[in-house]
Structure formats: structure tokens, C-alpha cells
Amino acid sequence: MQKKINTKSISPNEAKHVPVLLQEAIEGLNLKEGAVALDATLGVGGHTKEIATRIGHKGTIIGIDADSVAITRAKDTLSNFGFKGEIKFFNTNFRNLDSVLKEAGVEKIDAALFDLGLSSPQIEVSGRGFTFKQEEPLVMTFAEEPKEDEVTALEVVNTWSEETLTLIISSYGEERFAKRIAKAIVESRELGPITTTSQLSKIIEEAIPYVARKKQKIHPATRTFQGIRMAVNDEVGALTEALPKAFGALNSHGRMAIISFHSIEDRIVKRYFQEKGKEGTAKIITKRPLIASEEETHENPKSRSAKLRIIEKI
């Protein structure tokens, strides 16, 4: 019988991150007691907690997050929950998951979960410039303290060419006014550096024609901020590198579940899964991506764009 998961019980103080497609992803991973599971995107530990419930005290979790604050939150979630199995945390990009598994002394895994993008606390309280609703510095890195050689939003906005800005805002941001916005950013930075979210948001807003702006249901800066964030963290590159590494590490009958929020990411996952299906090395469990129910989208509007795909290694 299917065990119903109560998502509302997940957090009293985790800045209200509600795990998306929780039931579907956890059921889809087909976890057994004593399994070894990789959570490549710990976030606040919402999915991990359910993984822990399924694999029990003989199970092992390898948890990754590029954000050290997320690791702390996930640790809290699991210690409050009283998980007695083994758990190893790695504060790194999931594109390095091969080295992570090596360091953890784990050769094969039974399940891998990727829940892409950002958690609610990152957007709302990290102060790293993911939101245009507050005055924040332009950082937008997953890592809390970006290293000196790491790209930040400040660098993207103030030094990348108009052509590259147009490209990332239109492809990652899916913003139809990308060209106008990129031009406005370049014109503005000629007068002085763009250093805060409010400054950037205002430039974007003014670059979008008034009539189009009035018709939009979302804030005019939403898409551009998304495009810049995805470029800063090379999110598409990281996913493309991580998929074969995770699949390679799966045991026979092991499953991988990916929740994505962007059409480019969903396409990468879909094509990779199709390739494995054609090769005869995997069975695709979700012929079509699973999406959130009406009830879930009502309770958690962020789940509206989520797509879940699951594959099983043969």
C-alpha cells in the first residue's frame, strides 16, 4: 500500500521550503531497507528525510549540496528526525559526484535524486541576490562564500558582453525582451557599476515595454534573474556532467529521479534517459514527466513548473 507523506509536517523553521513532488519522487525511487541513496541536492533535507524513513537504520545516505548553509539545514532536519543510519555530507557541486562517492568509499548506489534549482530559504533569506524583492548585493552563487575565481552575478552583469547577456537572458531566462534588457544593462553600467538587486531590477523593468509589462503575471525581472542565476552557477553544464556519473554509479535495478523546473533542463534529462533506453541499459519509468497535482500547485505554487522523470538501470 502507498504510504501517504504529509509534506506539511516537514518544517517548522526551515523558512518554509515545501518539497516538490515528494510522494511521487520517493515512491518512484523504489527504496528498500538498507539501500544506499544519493541525494545530490539536499536543500533543507525535505526529500532526504523521506529517503531516510524508507531505507531505515541499515541504510546509507550520501548528501550533496553546493551551499554550506543547506548542509547545516539538512543536518538539523535529519538529527531532529533521529535517523540512525549512516549519512555523509559533502559541500560541493554535484558535478563532482564521482569524487564524492570515491571519498565516501561507496562504489555503487541504489538510488539517486536531483531536485534542481533553489530552496525557498536561499531565495528568501540568503541575502545573496536571488530575489528582486529585497535590496541585496549581486552574488547569486549556490556557495555561501564564493571563491575568488568563481563567477558572481556582479561580474556577469558588469563585464559580460551584450551578446552573451542577450543569449543567457533569452535561453536560460526564456525572456522575449532579452535583447532590450541586455542593451539597457550595458548602457546603464557605462554610467557606473550595477551592484544591487534593486538597481538591476529597475533597469530590467524599464527595458520592457509598458504594455507588455502590464500584461505579465510575474514580476518583470523574474526571467532575467533566473537566466543570470543559471549562468552564474553553470547549472546546465553541471547537470549534463552529473547525469552520466550518477547513472554509472547505479546498481542494476537502481533508480534515478530528477525534478527540474526549466525546459532546457527537462530536455537534457529526457534526451539522456531516451539514449539509455535505446542503448538497452535502462528502463524509462516515466514515459511522460510527472507533474504536480492541482492540490499541490494550489498549496505550493512553486511546484507548477516542476517535472519529474525517473529511470531504472537494467
Ligand X SMILES: C[S@@+](CC[C@H](N)C(=O)[O-])C[C@H]1O[C@@H](n2cnc3c(N)ncnc32)[C@H](O)[C@@H]1O
E runs forming strands in 124-225 = none
Question: Measured between alpha carbons, how far is 261 from 247 in angstroms, rounded to an integer?
Answer: 21
Residues in a beta bridge with 309: 258
Q: Mark the segment that binds ligand X (CB under 6 A) among 36-44, 169-177, 194-202, 275-283.
A: 36-44
17 forms part of the interface with ligand X (CB under 6 A):
yes
Q: Give the C-alpha distances (Å, rounded to integers) separating 279 from 193, 239, 282.
A: 51, 20, 8
232 forms part of the interface with ligand X (CB under 6 A):
no
Q: Mark the segment that binds ligand X (CB under 6 A) among 114-122, 126-134, 265-273, 306-314.
A: 114-122
132 forms part of the interface with ligand X (CB under 6 A):
no
Residues 238-257, mask of contacts with ligand X (x by CB under 6 A): x-------------------
The correct pick among 70, 100, 269, 308 for binding ligand X (CB under 6 A) is: 70
Question: Measured between alpha carbons, how far is 258 from 267 in angstroms, rounded to an integer?
Answer: 12
What cell does 222 get? 523574474
Q: Mark the segment that binds ligand X (CB under 6 A) among 111-119, 208-216, 220-228, 248-256.
A: 111-119
Nearest to 103 by CA among 83, 84, 89, 114: 89
Max Cα distance, the chain (Å): 64
What cell does 85 get? 543510519
The correct pick among 24, 27, 110, 115 for binding ligand X (CB under 6 A) is: 115
What cell does 117 get? 534549482
Shortest-Cβ-distance residue relative to ligand X = 43
142 forms part of the interface with ligand X (CB under 6 A):
yes
Nearest distance from residue 176's CB to ligand X, in Å? Answer: 26
In DSSP notation, 3-47 reads PPP-GGGS-SSSTTPPPTTHHHHHHHHT--TT-EEEES--TTSHH
The correct pick among 26, 55, 66, 101 for binding ligand X (CB under 6 A) is: 66
Nearest to 233 by CA among 118, 79, 61, 101: 118
The correct pick among 29, 64, 140, 311 for binding ligand X (CB under 6 A) is: 64
User: Which is nearer to ligand X, 65 or 296 (by Cβ)?
Assistant: 65
User: Which is nearer to ligand X, 130 or 160 (by Cβ)?
Assistant: 130
Rounded to 10°, the helix 46-55/22-29 angle is 40
User: Which is nearer to ligand X, 144 or 175 (by Cβ)?
Assistant: 144
Nearest distance from residue 17's CB to ligand X, in Å? Answer: 5
The arrangement of strands across the sheet holding 86-90 comes to 86-90, 60-64, 36-39, 109-115, 250-260, 307-313, 282-284
45 forms part of the interface with ligand X (CB under 6 A):
yes
Q: How many CB atoms within 10 Å of residue 30?
A: 17
User: Which is nearer to ligand X, 252 or 263 (by Cβ)?
Assistant: 263
Nearest distance from residue 283's CB to ligand X, in Å? Answer: 24
User: Which is nearer to ligand X, 16 or 283 (by Cβ)?
Assistant: 16
Number of residues binding to ligand X, judged by CB under 6 A? 22
Nearest distance from residue 19's CB to ligand X, in Å? Answer: 3
Give contact residues for ligand X (rule: CB under 6 A): 17, 19, 41, 43-47, 64-67, 70, 93-94, 115-119, 142, 238
